[in-house]
Amino acid sequence: MKPKQRDFMPLDPYDYLRIQVQLDFQCRRCGICCQVADPIDIYPKDIRRLASHFSISIKEATDKYTIPHPDEPDIRAFKATNPCRFYDETTKGCRIYNARPMVCRCSPFLSPGQIGLEGIEIYEDCPAAVGCFKEIENDLDHLLHPDAKTRKMLEKALSRMMQFE
């Protein structure tokens, strides 16, 4: 039996815009986000992903890689995040890419704190984010008002990126 799809929080036009911009985003692998993000939010699914990636228990992953989040009591944060302990300067990439946290999967436009905000936050330190947003400015009105089919496609894309359960 297939599990029931989780219902989403209501999305506003800017959420649809953020999803589309994120889908179009082409990371330049500069590593800036990996070097300045502090704290890096860790959700329960992220801990399960880390445990699976390293073939350790959830408790071991929690103890080894996370600390209590300094601002959010319901989530945890990565230990050693300035720079992120998993950023590899030599390869300009993440050593745990397949197990990276949700916040990294959804950066720079879909970080969980942005959902529901009016407007779109551009991380000016990220050259790819600035370039990506400039490309879509001409289509802004169209992107803020997607048709039903496009909205459904964007909602599915958001679900995959954030890996809702």
> Which tens digit of pLDDT belongs to each residue from 140-160?
777 788 888 988 888 888 888
CA–CA dist 95, 98 (Å, integer): 9
Contacts of 142 (CB under 8 A, 6+ apart): none
- Regarding predicted confidence, which is higher, 69 or 163? 69
Q: Go through 54-85 and write b for each residue having 16 or more CB atoms within 10 A of its CB, e for each that does not.
A: eeeeeeebbeebbeebeeeeebbbbeebebbe
What is the model's pTM?
A: 0.76
CA–CA dist 42, 57 (Å, integer): 16
> Which tens digit of pLDDT belongs to each residue from 35-60?
888 889 999 999 999 999 999 999 99
Q: Where are the domains of the chain?
A: 9-25+108-165, 29-103
- Regarding predicted confidence, which is higher, 120 or 9? 120
> Which tens digit of pLDDT belongs to each residue from 46-103?
999 999 999 999 999 999 999 999 998 999 999 877 889 999 989 888 999 999 998 8
